[in-house]
Amino acid sequence: MQISIADLAQMVQGTFEGDGTQMLNTIAKIQEGTTGALSFFANPKYENHIYTTQSSAVLVNKTFVPSKAHKTVLIRVEDAYATFTNLLEQYGNTAIHLTGIEQMSFIDETAVVGENAYVGAFTYVSKNVSVGENTKLFPHVFLGANVKVGKNCIFYSGVKIYHDCIIGDNCILHSGTVIGGDGFGFSLLPDGSYKKIPQIGNVIMESDVEIGANCTIDRATMGSTHIRKGVKFDNLIQIAHNAEVGDHTVIAGQAGVAGSTKIGKYNVIGGQAAFAGHLTIADYNQFGGQCGVVGSIKEENGKWFGTPVLGVRDALRSASLFKRLPELLIRIDTLEKEIKSLKKE
């Protein structure tokens, strides 16, 4: 990144206040800025940094009115946060500029790799795979037979996609994630041992999905495990066979969804939340961290907490009561003693 403040302001369709000839060559947090850095300000609680930052320029909303003098150049835009995000995508993500096929990678002769794709060293592309244009496969990625990958995807090192799985456009998969491993399916035999049930389905992931590091999404026993459009996963998440995660649902780290559970769209799920199998969860619900969901939830727009989950108000009342249990136990013991004393009299 090497651009003048004036040119950047023009590029983002903004205006600037100050010396537009200064050059910007990096991006930094507002509280960690240095000369030549571009920062942004959107959250009012960080306003004090506007007046002390060493960044050469700061993106701010057009409505921002400073309350003190400042040295940095203000670049005014409609939405500072969105503009800064777009700049990070353009200048901060080197992956989008990679192209070509590196030595020591393997691409089967029946596979099709689109234009401007990148295939890193030691990546393995199996039979009948298709990879869309501008997709980036970092070193040590594995794509099993018949896998279909859309355009503009990024698979970081160590991603493994098992056979027959389908990945849509604009998906990002981080290192160590496994898509399409066998579902946890076993039948109990009369002698107490277990026989594996073949998992012959696949995983279908729609467009604009991002999956964090070391996540696992199991293939269906039959049919498909389905990750819908716009879903976002944190790291270390487990999705079991035949589950479904609805459009634009977000799930924080270490959460787990058991087999055949269907989670609706626009749900927000906290870290370490657990969903039992064969449930149906309605749209627009929010689940606090470490929730234990053992039954279906039919109502929308709910807020849930605890194990087993309760509505937030009931959960807070229960927590308050739980804290009082030692006190209540003492009072009960005292009352029992008084009752015994009265009976004797």
DSSP string, 76-89: EES-HHHHHHHHII
Structure token pair of residue 308: 């087993």
Q: 53 and 165, same structural domain?
A: no
Q: Would you place residue 166 in the very low, low, confident or very high pLDDT band (cuts 50, 70, 90)?
A: very high
Q: Are 120 and 105 in contact (CB under 8 A)?
A: yes
Strand pairing report for 238-239 and 216-218: parallel
21 and 146 both lie in a single domain: no
pLDDT above 70 as % of the chain: 98
236-286 residue pLDDT tens: 999 999 999 999 999 999 999 999 999 999 999 999 999 999 999 999 999
Computed over every residue of the chain, the mean pLDDT equals: 94
Which of 23-32, 113-122, 176-185, 197-206 is predicted with the least confidence, judged by mean pLDDT? 23-32
Confidence of residue 90 (pLDDT cuts 50, 70, 90): confident
Q: Work out the average pLDDT over 312-324.
A: 77
Same domain, 138 and 203: yes
Residue 3 has pLDDT above 80, yes or no: yes
Q: Are residues 70 and 142 in the same domain?
A: no
pLDDT band at 233 (very low <50, low <70, confident <90, very high): very high
Pairing assessment for the beta strands 166-167 and 148-149 based on DSSP bridges: parallel
pLDDT of residue 92: 67
Q: What pLDDT is recorded for position 181?
A: 97
Q: Does pLDDT of 70 surpass 90?
A: yes
Q: What is the CATH number of the domain that holds 229?
A: 2.160.10.10
Q: For residue 345, how many C-alpha atoms fall within 13 Å in the half-sphere facing its CB?
A: 6
Rounded Cα–Cα distance for residues 275 and 295 (Å): 8
Query: pLDDT higher for 317 or 87?
Result: 87
Neighbour count for residue 127 (Cβ, 10 Å)? 14
pLDDT of residue 89: 78
Identity of the amino acid at 168: G
Query: What single letter denotes the amino acid at residue 243?
Result: A
How many percent of the chain have pLDDT more than 90? Answer: 82
Please identify every residue annotated as catalytic: 241
Look at residue 190 and tell me if it is in a domain. yes
For the cut 80, the answer to whether the pLDDT of residue 94 exceeds it is no
Number of neighbouring beta carbons within 10 Å of residue 45: 6
On the 0-12 / 13-18 / 19+ scale of CB atoms within 10 A, 124 is middle
Predicted confidence (pLDDT) at residue 153 exceeds the cutoff of 70: yes
- Per-residue model confidence (pLDDT) at position 315: 76
Evaluate if residue 17 carries a pLDDT over 90: yes
**Quick one: the chain helix, strand, coil %, rounded to 5?**
20, 30, 50
291 lies in some domain:
yes
Residue 314 has pLDDT above 90, yes or no: no
Residue 155 counted as domain residue:
yes
Query: Is 196 domain-assigned?
Result: yes
Q: Please give the residue that has the higher pLDDT: either 294 or 340.
A: 294
Q: Does 336 reside within a domain?
A: no
The number of distinct structural domains making up the chain is 2
Question: Which residues lie closer than 8 Å to 305 by C-beta, 6 or more apart?
Answer: 287, 288, 291, 311, 312, 315, 316
Return d(Cα 190, Cα 41) in angstroms, integer. 65
Residues contacting residue 238 through CB under 8 Å, at least 6 positions apart: 215, 216, 218, 255, 256, 257
Q: Greater confidence, 26 or 89?
A: 26
| Lowest-confidence segment of 14-23, 212-221, 328-337 by average pLDDT | 328-337
- Is residue 320 one of the residues assigned to a domain? no
- Structural domain for 44, as ranges: 3-92
The residue type found at 24 is L
Out of 97-106, 150-159, 319-328, pick the least confident. Answer: 319-328
- Report residue 145 as tokens: 């037979």
Residues with Cβ within 8 Å of 82's Cβ and at least 6 positions away in sequence, in order, are none
Co-location of 111 and 38 in the same domain: no
Enumerate helices (H) and strands (E) in the chain, giving the number of each: 4, 40
